[in-house]
Amino acid sequence: MKELAVISALLLTGLTAGLFFGLEMKMGQDVSPTGLVIQAGKMFCQGLSTHDSVVSANCKNQMNQIAMFALLLGILEVVILAALSGSVAAGIIIYIIGFVAGFSLTLVG
């Protein structure tokens, strides 16, 4: 029963990522929750550039670090779920199946 929950979590994670990636391809803008937070932060940093360029540069560095941390957490989530599924290779394949399904749904819809 535990493996079924992990496999469904992997499949749904891949499906969600595929849907957001498909929307990004169609719209030309990242609409995932993480992408929206990063975009809002970068707009905030641009607003600071008119006030102080040093503060704006530090703000941009912080936003880049947040983006890298979010990417690392996403990869870590998939790898941990894949490891919990029993076979890392099978878990990653399940994630890819979900990703392709979500991406295809976006392109067809």
39-73 confidence digits (pLDDT tens): 888 888 888 878 877 888 888 888 889 889 988 99
DSSP string, 8-34: HHHHHHHHHHHHHHHHHHHHSS--SHH
**Where exactly are the structural domains of the chain?**
2-108
On the question of pLDDT at 85 being above 90, the answer is no
At 13, is the pLDDT very low, low, confident or very high (cuts 50, 70, 90)?
Answer: very high
- pTM across the whole model: 0.80
Helix (H, G, I), strand (E, B) or coil at 50: coil
Q: Please tell me the predicted confidence (pLDDT) of residue 1.
A: 67
